[in-house]
Structure 1
Amino acid sequence: MKRRGFRPKIFDEKLRQRYTELIEAQYSPDLTAVQNFIQKNNIRFWLLDRSAFSPDYPIDKVGLQSFGSVTSRAVERLRTGTPLVLSELSESCSVVESKNIILLDARCILDAKNPVR
């Protein structure tokens, strides 16, 4: 008899790895790292919370604190004002915007020259 809600441990590990890579890419100052993540995961669009790059964005309080050092690096980058690729490209690569979200075209990110100096 199968247990309801049972997920194999391998599923949890893969999901955790993908979330870790997503957080690292979203808060990365390295264009190549972001482009590699897009290619590896066959991403076509990237949905962002409009306030995701604000220094007071609660990344370490929205259920992501369990991701440890990758979350800590993201928080530190936000607090120190490190230029981040997706933040820098959010205007030029935006295809849809609303009050709370921005949808970026991944092709635009792949074609971009390094926006972070």
Structure 2
Amino acid sequence: MPAFALANLRPAQLNEETLEYIEKVQSTFAPFGGRFRVHGADPEVLEGQWPGTVVIVEFPDVERARAWYASPAYQEILPLRTRNIEGETIILDGVGPDYDAARTAARMRASLG
């Protein structure tokens, strides 16, 4: 099942560190089967507030997403971003091709008693 690393990043001024991070980040997740799905997109906010931009990287599974984040290659460049750009980063499981929200609702309904 695919997994995703998602970052909500607040705008930052470009400098040498942020540019170096952007130049190097893709090579850090390639060994784990990761690839950009969204990179720096400004979201169209339909409900609530969403400060900043969005980055989504897809991995084959959650184990590889975690391994990428913990990898020496990524940890080496991570401070280039965290010193210059505020934001949150999460890893989450995706859903398989046969996912059906109605089945999920049925299981939830059954658990109500």
**TM category, shorter:** under 0.3
* Larger Rg belongs to: 2
Please state which structure has a larger fraction of its residues in helix.
1
Q: Which has the higher contact order (CA 8 A, sep 6+)?
A: 2
Please state which structure has a larger fraction of its residues in strand.
2
TM-score (norm 2): 0.26
TM-score (norm 1): 0.25
